[in-house]
Each structure stands twice: as structure tokens, then as C-alpha cells.
Amino acid sequence: MERNTKGVLRWKKVDVRMEDHLIVPTFPIGLSREIYDEHLREYLSKIGCEKFSDEKPLWEVHLVKYPSLNGACTMIFKFSHALGDGYSFIRVFFKCCGRADKSSYPLTFPRLSLMKTQQQYDGYRVIGFGKKLFGLMRKCKNTSYDLMESLLRTTFFEDRLSVIRSETSTNMNIELFRPFNIHSVTLSLERVKQVKTKLGATVNDVIVGLLSYIIHLYAVRKAKNMDQYGEDGSKMESTNGGTNTSMTICVMLNMRIFRGFTSMEDMIRAEAWGNHSRLLMIPLPTFPNLEEVNPLDFIIKAKQNMDRKKNSMIFYLIDSLLKTAMCIKGQKGIDEMLYYSLKHASTMITSVIGPKEQMAILNHPVSNFYYLVSGIPQSITFTSVSCMEELKLVVTMEKGFIDSELFISCMDEAFEKIFRAAFGYYPGMDDNEITRKSN
């Protein structure tokens, strides 16, 4: 970057040498797909911990020419968030893709909306001046609380240490880019929607509730494995397992929705490049240290927390807070606000809505795709992608702190338990019967 005549830092135009940005790694020859898949995950962790060079533009493309469990080869796009937010990068990726079945046809995406459906809205409709005034007062109260919480989160208010929040996440002197393990689960989007319909929730409510339940299972089983003792031999508090400890999740909010973009097509066509994502703090549902707790309670509690956030005007004040920080401390002020907001929370989730059809790059079908974020001051982070009627949930876990095998086992079985609790599901149940119960 360079400073202009007014002393403001601007991007410097440079010549791009493609050979500096296209990287082809070399793995041993003659291995099985399972071993290559492990090499791929280790490679993702390796490049996720490497910082970009200051001598070239902040992006790379890695082409892994070895088969994995998900495909014949893997293409990795690596970007710095200094260039833009996730939707900016996804916009570039989708522009490189076409439909696998009909290459001349454009990709289509689900509609986006922050408004409740008419059926949901009717249930909360208030009639009369008194009730409308009460509703306005409640919204103002929620807004004041959220505004104060946002300010405190950027200063000293933070979550307690737990089984998913380590001291390394709270220490500014420890390197942010730490090695991590990766795991993903693929869920049927239709079944997620069936749970959503049964509980009167949204897909986001189900995702946040699912993450809460996964963390709950992990905390309970981790405490059992440790026999209530820490690694240093000291006795742990019964609430330090994470099930009773207050935890907060940072939900990334795409502000383009508030600017009139109701579909991914609008966002892709529009020149809305840059960082237009904001953080929203949501408390994670917590229950007593019991593995037998009803899984649906996590989604119901998550829905209540999300509904309270929706009944607030904090969405429209986030940019004002950032502009105030910009005026007082410049770009450094915004960076500090975002950094401390993430650092003081236990985890984060960011989601992307993908196309309905299978994608192809240069007529090569894309069987699977996901994304992840590195360099976050947290020990565990989540990303989700909905695409081709599937919901892929990806977790990155700090090596040496998160018991990845235990967490993966909790992650693999959590939604199955939720679905079984909602519909009394058993293996082999007919989908028509599930739909009937959902209705």
C-alpha cells in the first residue's frame, strides 16, 4: 500500500505474475484416497497458518492434483480479508462457475429475506396503540442492551475459559495463526427444514441450536474423560466444562441484505465489493451437565435468543459504531473493535448460501466445496454452506487444545439425535412418514 497526497493509505497498482500466485504442492505417489485426504487437511492447516508476502497481491490459488475422499483433485482459493469479505470472494468464485448440467444456463440461488413469513408474522401481530407503544419500548430496550453489550465486548467484557476457549485465545502475545484440524459433516437440507418447520424456527436457528448441542455433548464427555480433573492435575469446577458456562457465538451478518439485495444474483451482479459483513453477538443456549437433555431445547432457546436480536435496531447501528471508531482512532480503531469482539467470544459461525444446481469449472463438475477462516483469536470456528439441497457444516479446531476425535464424534451424531427427538426417527423410516409428521 502507499499513501496518497492526503496521507491516506491506498492500494498500489502492481504487475501480477501468475506463477507467483499459482501453487502446485507435491505429495508422495501411490497412496490411498484416505491418506491423500489426510495430506490435504494437513496442507490446508499449513497454508492457513502462513501469512501472505508483502511483496505481492494478497491472494493465491493452490491446485492439489491428488485424489481425496471428495474428488479427483482439489482447488484452493486463499484470500486475505484485507481485500474484502467472504461474499466478495464467493462472488468471484461463482463467476468462475457454470451449471454442470446446462453450461449455457446461469446458476440460480434461493431468495434471501430477513422478514418473517406472513404466517409467523400473524402470530406476533399487535393491535392497538398501547400494544404498539409497548412493542416499541421493548425494541428500544433491546437496542440499548445490545448497544451496551457491543461496546463492552470491544473493551473488557469476555467469556470465561471453557473446554472450547483456551488461554491462547485470550493472550495477545500468542500467534494468531495456529495449526488446526478440519472436519465437516453434510446434512440433508430438507431434513433441516423439516426440523425448522416443526419448531417454527429458521434455518439459522437450527444451525445455532445444533452448534450449541454439539458443544454441550463435547463439554459433558470431555469432563467425564478427564474425571473432573484438568491436565495440570487440579480439580475442575463443575461449571467449567462449558455446559453451564455462559458462552457467546459471533454470527457474521451480511449487511448487503439491508441494502436491497434479496438474492445472491443481486449481490453477484452488483459492484458491492469490500467488507460489508458485521458481527452479531448471540448467547449460546446452556443447560445443566446432563447428556440426556432434550436436544430440541437447544434449538428452541436459540430461536428465542435470535428473535430477541431481531427485535432490536442494533443491525442499523453497527455501521455507525464503526464510523465513530474510524473518526476517533482511524482504521486501527475498527481493527481493534473487530479483533476484541472475536477474541472475547467463545466461537463464531459464518454462512454462505450456494446455488441450487451442481456447479462446474471449465466443464469439470464440482462435487463438493466449502470454506474456512484462519487467523481468528478463537480455538474453534464454524462455517456452513447450503448447496444442492445439502447443508455442509465445517469446523476448525485448534491442535493441542480441542480433542478433535471427541468433538468429531459429537458432531457426527448431534443432528441425528435432534432429528430423532423431533420425529421419533429410526433407520429406514420412510421420508413420506417424516414429511407427514413434519406437517
Contact 81, 275 (CB under 8 A): yes
34-91 pLDDT, tens per residue? Answer: 999 999 999 999 999 998 888 888 999 999 999 999 899 999 999 998 888 887 788 7
pLDDT for 267: 59
User: In the prediction, which pLDDT does 32 show?
Assistant: 95
The predicted pLDDT at position 332 comes to: 75
Q: What is the pTM of this model?
A: 0.84
Q: What is the pLDDT of residues 261-271, one digit of tens each?
A: 555 556 555 55
| Nearest in space to 370 (alpha carbons), one of 43, 93, 83, 61 | 93
What is residue 74's predicted lDDT score, i.e. its pLDDT?
Answer: 95
Residue 57, C-alpha cell as written in the block: 497481491
Strand partners, 2: 10
The pLDDT assigned to 122 comes to 45
Confidence (pLDDT) at 120? 45
118-438 carries CATH number 3.40.47.10: no
For residues 379 and 293, give the distance between their C-alpha atoms in angstroms, rounded to a whole number. Answer: 25
- Report the SS3 class of residue 107: coil
Q: Where are the domains of the chain?
A: 118-438
- C-alpha separations of 300 from 32, 199, 204 in Å: 43, 7, 12
Distances (CA, A) of 274 to 224, 270, 331, 378: 46, 12, 14, 24
Beta-ladder partners of 3: 9
- What local confidence, expressed as pLDDT, does residue 207 receive? 95
Of 399, 401, 404, the closest CA to residue 179 belongs to 399
Residues lower than pLDDT 50 in the chain: 115-124, 126, 231, 233-241, 260, 427
